Amino acid sequence: MLQCRTLSLSLSYDDKMQKLTLIRPDDWHLHLRDGEALQAVLPHTVRQFARAIVMPNLKPPVRDLADAAAYRDRILAAIPAGKQFKPLMTLYLTDQTSPEDVLAAQASGFVQAVKYYPAGATTNAEFGVTDIRNCDPVFEVMQRLEMPLLLHGEVTDKAVDIFDREKVFIEQQLMPLRQRFPQLKVVMEHITTADAVEFVLVHDHIAATITPQHLLYNRNSLFNRGIRPHFYCLPILKRERHRQALLQAATSGNPKFFLGTDSAPHSRDRKENACGCAGCFSALHAIELYAEVFENANALDKLEAFASFYGPDFYQLPRNTEQITLIKTSWRIPDEVPFVDSQLVPLGAGSELMWQMA
């Protein structure tokens, strides 16, 4: 079983529950893009989070140590002056990834994990793995090094209903992988189903990240008086019973579940077209969204561990020591924010939140 360190809670409230102070959180699943897009979105993450696991699905992808080092340098150069932020890099797993690539990445000290995308599963996944068994030599080394494998857990078989792709992935791909490599550390990223929650609960060395959109919304939000492209993400939003299972997992105090926004910036024009891109942009207000979720579930006392403790514990990294403060005050999520030559529409644009970071 995943070992949980004794919690030393710093979470505090004032007498009238108008202020919430907690250890600065980390984002364990984040898309930062590159170039001008990176410069536009990174300040939002830096405002809230001390570290983030940065996704490698650029074009071309971050496939080896040299790619990761160069991308890390570009991220560090984009951090606003006077701010502190540590990008935690990942390699994009392909059919050609070698054990030597993993060994070099692990020795670097700044590459924390390897990311698995099934070929064609999501944004820039055309370089992904065509058959997960092709990567067994890499998984053998990762298991020995205790380097986490981060899974986009969906099958891409067109015969499988899009709402069933996570469940089928668990049955057809993840269970056999688990049998072949029982000690491999795995993060099931952005889980969306009760099936994934159950799998995480019953298997050792398995953890999961949960996004704000999958905690806040079910699939009805995609079709509320029309098609709502800014709720379209992959894995897609699921039924209400699955949202409830995720909510129970996130607020349970179980260290196998921790924060990962999967914030994925796509400009308004790329979302609002005949073939809109998959991804929800939540970096603007992520910790406020999670606070809303946890308060609505009467579980604010569980937020700090979910956001600030369980992720670093799983990755065997030190917890942060700096604190952030949220103030209880009503504010409106903006309809859009600037982004390169267009705009980004934040998750829940136009709605009210009751917590705001000071």
Task: Kindly list the catalytic residues.
Answer: 262
Give the tokens for residue 6.
Answer: 């004794």
The whole-angstrom separation of Cα 95 and Cα 132 is 8
The whole-angstrom separation of Cα 125 and Cα 353 is 34
Dihedral of the CA atoms 286, 290, 293, 299 (nearest 10)?
-170
b/e code 111-126 from CB counts within 10 Å (16+ = b): bbbbbbbbeebbbbbe
b/e code 143-166 from CB counts within 10 Å (16+ = b): beeebbbbbbbbbbeeebeebebb
Q: Where are the alpha helices (DSSP H) in the chain?
A: 35-48, 65-78, 99-108, 136-145, 165-169, 175-180, 194-202, 212-216, 240-250, 268-271, 286-296, 303-304, 310-315
The whole-angstrom separation of Cα 190 and Cα 234 is 9
For 28, what's the count of Cα atoms within 13 Å in the CB-facing half-sphere? Answer: 34
Q: How many other C-beta atoms can be found within 10 angstroms of the C-beta atom of residue 63?
A: 18
Q: Is 53 helix (H, G, I), strand (E, B) or coil?
A: strand
Beta bridge partners of 357: 326
Angle of CA points 203, 206, 209, to nearest 5°: 130
